[in-house]
Amino acid sequence: MALTFKRTLTKGQPAGHFPQYCARWRFMKIDASGLPSRDVDALLQQLSVVSRKLPLLEEVCIDVGTKGLLRSTDTFAVADSLRRVDLRPSVLFQTPIDERRLTHLSATLTNISDVEHIMPFPSITECHLSVYRPLFQSSSPIRVTNERIIWFSTNDTQILDTVTLPTLQTLRIAGCRAESDVLTAFILRSACKLQSFVTDTSSGVRLDDLSSMKKLTVHVNQENIVFSLFLQLMCPRTLPGLCELAITIPPNFVMYAKTVVDVLRKRMETQAVSLMLVCADHDSRIIKQLKHMG
C-alpha cells in the first residue's frame, strides 16, 4: 500500500477504505510531505483504524517532510511480521512498535533515553538515528550495548557516546562534525572491526583510529573540513587496508580536483585503491580536470 498526499487531506479519506484491505498489506508507504502540519496530524490519527489488523505487514515508511515534530501513531504497536520501520525526519519517535522481529529502524529522537529504549530490540541489525534538536540529557549517564547491529548511522555524535556496538561493520556520520574524542572512545569501547566509514564532515576525524577500515566514502560539502581528511589520506600509513575510496563531489569542488589526484598518487605508490567519483549535477568539468592532471 502506497499513498502520496500533495496538498490537502480530504475529510474522512482515506481511512474509510483501510479496514477492507489492511489484513493483506505487506508494505506501507505514506508520503505526506506535501501536506500542511494539521493534515499530517489528522492522517496519523486516522491510521489508528488499522491498529491490530496488520498480521502480514513487514515494512513501514512514513515521510512527513520537514514540518517539525508531529504527533505519532500507535498503529504499529501490534504487527507480528514487522521487519523494517522508516520514520523519516520529523516523525517523533513516540510510536509504539512491535519490535520482536524488527531488523531495520530509522527514527528521529528528541531524548537520549530513546536510545536506551531502542538498543535492546532483539533482532535489530541496521539502525539510523537522527536528532531533531540537541538531545535532552538524562540526569545520569546512559551507556547501552547491542551485539547485533552491523550498520549504524547518525547525525549527532552525542549518540555514539551512549552506545557500544561490538559487531558494527559500517558507520555513517552525516550532518554534523564527527568529534574525534567521541569517535575514538566509541571505537575503542566497542572493539569493533569497522569495515566501512561514510561521512560528509570530517574536521574531527582521525583516520588512524579506524585502522581496520577497508572502504571510505566522503560526501564533499564543506571543502575546508574535507580537505583535512584528504591530507591524512596522502600518508600511505593511514588506513593501510583501504581498498575502496568513494568521493561524491559537488560542482563547487572543482577547484580542489588536484587534491584528489594527489591523494590517489600517494595511495597508489604503496597499494591498489579503487576509486569511485560521483559528480553532482553531472558536472563534467571535474572529470575533465582530473583526466588533464593524469
Range of the domain at 202: 195-294
- Answer whether residue 215 is part of any domain: yes
- Answer whether residue 108 is part of any domain: no
Number of domains, the chain:
1
Least confident among 152-161, 199-208, 232-241, 243-252: 199-208
This prediction's pTM: 0.84
CA angle 212-213-215, nearest 5°? 160
- Answer whether residue 275 is part of any domain: yes
Distance, in Å, from the CA atom of 6 to the CA atom of 46, rounded to the nearest integer, reads 17
- 185, 158 Cβ separation under 8 angstroms: no
Q: What mean pLDDT do residues 44-66 have?
A: 81
Give the tens place of pLDDT for each residue, 126-168: 999 988 776 656 566 778 999 999 999 998 888 898 999 999 9
Give residue 119's pLDDT.
93
- Answer whether residue 259 is part of any domain: yes
- Answer whether residue 263 is part of any domain: yes
CA angle 94-187-243, nearest 5°? 110
- Answer whether residue 61 is part of any domain: no
- Answer whether residue 15 is part of any domain: no
Q: Sort 273 into a burial class: Cβ within 10 Å, 0-12 / 13-18 / 19+.
A: middle
- Answer whether residue 251 is part of any domain: yes
% pLDDT > 90, the chain: 18
Give residue 13's pLDDT.
56
Give the tens place of pLDDT for each residue, 239-249: 888 888 887 77
